[in-house]
Amino acid sequence: SAVISQKPSRDICQRGTSLTIQCQVDSQVTMMFWYRQQPGQSLTLIATANQGSEATYESGFVIDKFPISRPNLTFSTLTVSNMSPEDSSIYLCSVVDLSTDTQYFGPGTRLTVL
């Protein structure tokens, strides 16, 4: 199974600033997802980040607000731009093991925006 790490694990940020979250995987993976989990809600998919192509965003999420980079098969970043308190959430990255069709998740980044 893939081992995923995320940085930072948590942060408290001021309104209007931006935060970049890093996701590092211990093996090469093609498919990677970024999710958001707001308090009391289920996981919501933000975008699919496949290496070699532009990220594909889900309805309600746009590149200007959540730019994503995927420079290689083991790394990705998600930036939360121009933050507001409504962006306070846990942000998770996941990867897909295509041989078993199983998603593995990182530990998450807990973001609080004041």
Partner 1 sequence: AQSVSQHNHHVILSEAASLELGCNYSYGGTVNLFWYVQYPGQHLQLLLKYFSGDPLVKGIKGFEAEFIKSKFSFNLRKPSVQWSDTAEYFCAVNFETVNAGNNRKLIWGLGTSLAVNP
Interface residues toward partner 1, by CB under 8 A: 4, 31, 33, 40-45, 48, 92, 96, 101-108
Strands (E), 42-81: 43-48, 56-57, 68-72, 75-80
Q: Rounded distance, CA 89 to CA 44, Å?
A: 11
> CB of residue 63 vs partner 1: minimum separation in angstroms?
18
Is residue 108 within 8 Å of 8, Cβ to Cβ? no
Q: State which residue, 40 or 85, has the beta carbon closest to partner 1.
A: 40
> CB of residue 24 vs partner 1: minimum separation in angstroms?
14
> CB of residue 51 vs partner 1: minimum separation in angstroms?
15
Q: State which residue, 48 or 83, has the beta carbon closest to partner 1.
A: 48
Is residue 78 within 8 Å of 46, Cβ to Cβ? yes
